[in-house]
Amino acid sequence: MVTTLTPLEAELLELAGSVPDPELPVLTLRELGVVRAVHVRGTETVEVELTPTYTGCPAVEAMSLDIERVLREHGVREVTVRRVLAPAWSTDDITDEGRRKLREFGIAPPRVRTASGPVGVELGPTRTRAARPEDEPVPVRCPHCGSAETELLSRFSSTACKALRRCLACREPFDHFKEL
């Protein structure tokens, strides 16, 4: 079902989506793909639908407060931010602009998934290589030099949604935004 936005809802969706992510301020919530919808309810009330990157995401409260602040500064009297868990957020929801910004910030963006549906858990090799058999996963490229020769140092980095990797070519460590 396609929902048509009113001009006011489109404007408020753009405003809510312009809020920087509290954990990755280089991205907006729109680029991260977590602001799902804005609904105008009456003359002074707005409801924003927000889908967390995962159910235990500690940044959801900060995101909600920042969205409320931005919309109130725009003249909306009553703002409700509602967490929406279905459909679940996935790294496929990150925009191309968001992926570009992650790379420029020194974080390897999540790889684009070719299959739909649930994401399988893989506990395979910790190194990725440019020349690989077709059955191996797409390599994680270094955001600094572009090499596909990287290794996993830790499955978790500064946040649960990132892994810590190192480039075998330039030897620089970097975060990799894990695929979900």
Q: How far is CA 3 from CA 37, 57, 79, 97, in A?
A: 10, 28, 20, 24
Q: How far apart are the C-alpha atoms of 34 and 73, rounded to whole Å?
A: 21
pLDDT at 150: 94
Identify the pLDDT of residue 132.
46
Query: What is the distance between the alpha carbons of residues 180 and 167, in angstroms, rounded to a whole number?
Result: 22
More confident residue, 84 or 57: 84
> Which letter does DSSP use for residue 8 in this model?
H
Look at 8 and 124; give whichever has higher pLDDT.
8
pTM: 0.79
pLDDT at 44: 86
pLDDT category at 46 given cuts 50, 70, 90 is very high
Tokens of residue 176, six digits: 């990799």
